[in-house]
Amino acid sequence: MKRVFFKAVMAVAVLTAFGSSALAQDIKERTFKFGLQNPKGHPLEMGAVKFAEIVSAKSGGKIKVTVFPGGTLGSDAATVSALQGGTVEITALNSGILASQVKDFEVFDFPFMFANPKEADAVVDGPFGQKLHAKLADKGIVGLSYLELGFRNMTNSRRAINTVEDIAGLKLRVIPNAINVDWVKALGANPTPMAFPELYGALEQKAVDGQENPLSVILANKFAEVQKFLTLTNHQYNPQSLIFSKKVWDTLSAAEKKIIQDAAVESSAYQRKVNREASAAQLDQLKKAGM
């Protein structure tokens, strides 16, 4: 009986070792570029760094992800184009921006869609969010998971906004898509579509009066230096799509794909937690900065 048990244990050990060896052979030495608009220290950059750390750990150090924050690889549009071409492998951006690829993503730009983060999580992590990401495959993009930028708020350099009427006449930078242009127009303001890397300079030069972004973005990009008034409107929730180049994805083994997908899910949960825990402190910092 002992001999039979010993043989069984040895057989399992051999199979386990063989499986581990085969898995290791399926993971190649690779280096991926992760382009991001947000600066170092922003919760999204922290999420990208966490993603890189998880990928490295799960691949035994074979797969390295280099994060390029602060728009160093270009605007969102340029980064998506590079991703489709396979010269940039990964990015995270406002899901609504992907409406230029799949029109259905415009839904994320409608104001007052979500009352709280719990509602948003249920939608993006559920069948609806997954189906939207699946539609990107035909555009050369693999949707991995959703991070978050959070709820957007308004800032401007001209006056305090206490009523809806106070928004009228302000020239506001918006994300370049039709829905954002339309809702700002409906409030009597003048929407100015503009790529994010151009925004600080436009605010500084008074080319636009104001903008709207989550507190984390307003703080990390030092908008308090060029904006006086902050209004907590929470008018729009921004999920962020973590996406991968399909051109590169199709060259990966099943083991490599699982590492990337699992890292995306784990880092998204981490990033949302960090972002939500930081919001109260961010508001205090903006007040101290003079807003």
pLDDT digits (tens, 9 = 90+) for 123-182: 999 999 999 999 999 999 999 999 999 999 999 999 999 999 999 999 999 988 888 999
* 21 within a domain of the structure (yes/no): no
In a domain, 88, yes or no: yes
Can you name the residues that pair with 35 across neighbouring β-strands?
Answer: 68, 91
Of 13-17, 59-63, 195-199, 254-258, which gets the smallest average pLDDT? 13-17
Q: How many domains does the chain have?
A: 1
> Tens digit of pLDDT for each residue in 22-51?
456 799 999 999 999 999 999 999 999 999
Give residue 290's pLDDT: 94
Q: What is the pLDDT of residue 11?
A: 46
**Given this model, what pLDDT does residue 177 score?**
83
- The verdict on residue 99 lying in a domain is yes
Three-state SS annotation for 13-32:
HHHHHHHHHHHHHCCCCEEE
48 in any annotated domain: yes
| Helix ranges, 160-252 (H) | 178-186, 199-204, 215-220, 246-249
Distance from the Cα of residue 288 to its chain's centroid:
27
pLDDT for the residue numbered 178:
87
Question: Does 93 fall in a domain?
Answer: yes
User: Residue 5: its pLDDT value, please?
Assistant: 46
Summarised one tens digit per residue, pLDDT across range 200-222 is 999 999 999 999 999 999 999 99
Maximal C-alpha separation, the chain: 88
Query: What per-residue string of b and e applies to 72-96 under the rule 16 or more CB within 10 Å gives b?
Result: ebbbbeebbebbbeeebbbbbbbbb
Residue 196 lies inside a defined structural domain of this protein: yes
Looking up residue 153, the CATH number of its domain turns out to be 3.40.190.170
Percent of the chain beyond pLDDT 70? 91
Given a cut of 60, whether residue 18 has pLDDT beyond it is: no
pLDDT at 10: 46
Residue 258 lies in a domain: yes
Question: Which one, of 205, 213, 226, 196, lies nearest residue 91 by Cα?
Answer: 196
- Residue 74 is part of which domain span? 30-288
Angle at 234 between CA 35 and CA 114, to 5 degrees: 85
Q: Is 74 within a domain?
A: yes
